[in-house]
Amino acid sequence: MKIQAILFDLDGTLLDSAPDFLWIINQMLTRRAKLCINLAVITEQASNGALAMLASAFKLTPEHPDLASLKQEFLQLYSSHLNKKSHLYKGVDELLDYIEARGLLWAVVTNKPALYTHPILDHFKLSQRAGAIICPEHVNKTKPDPEPLLLACTQMSVAAENCWYIGDHLRDIEAGNAANMITVGCQYGYLSPADDSQSWGADFLIKQPTQLISLLDANTLSNTTNHLPKIGFEHV
């Protein structure tokens, strides 16, 4: 199985957007004379979406009626506060350069709406480099369904079984496994203390983006994923 393309989740995998989320929610809390939160509250809930972050920050139950209006306010603020504090994780630039130098394609497959995804990728000058950018608006079913991953493969004209999917949440690994891809879980992403990445079913777990280079280097040299060596990362 020759490696043809590497697919990535966005938030918590390529992009650390938690600092922007933190700034916005603390602005909302301050407006209401409530105590500000720290970054850990965001990183533990970011993968679960805006409602989860807001519920945790405002100490509300998931069913609380105020959450809908809070989410609307959050999204309005976010649309004008993209890329103020967010940044690519250390090593992502090096990783993407490596992938392209090896003649491989890469894509972004995210549950983040296109309204935010495209300006962010434009800001980091990644839009023209990505072989595909798949957002919820492009599919009928989002992750953990494999449909978005398979659509990216179709757009890049590659076989799903020759692709890897990289993400920081169980839904990413479930989607990648369902698409018959090699899956890599990011332990540096937005995990909560309750998350057990060992139980996700990923083929590999990495603690930083550049560890993926060792994985890919071993496999692009051999052009096979039948015997994945253990080099500076965890083989599950």
> Can 195 be counted among the known catalytic residues?
no
The answer to whether residues 22 and 194 touch, using CB atoms and an 8 Å cutoff, is: no
The DSSP bridge partners found for residue 164 are: 6, 182
Question: What H or E segment, with its residue span, contains residue 21?
Answer: helix 18-31
| Nearest-10 crossing angle of helices 114-123, 67-79 | 30
138: helix, coil or strand? helix
What's the N-to-C CA distance of the chain in angstroms?
Answer: 20
Among residues 9, 20, 195, 203, which one is catalytic?
Answer: 9
Identity of residue 227? H
Among residues 11, 16, 168, 172, which one is catalytic?
Answer: 11
> Can 9 be counted among the known catalytic residues?
yes
d(CA 44, CA 18): 10
Q: Which residues participate in catalysis according to the annotation?
A: 9, 11
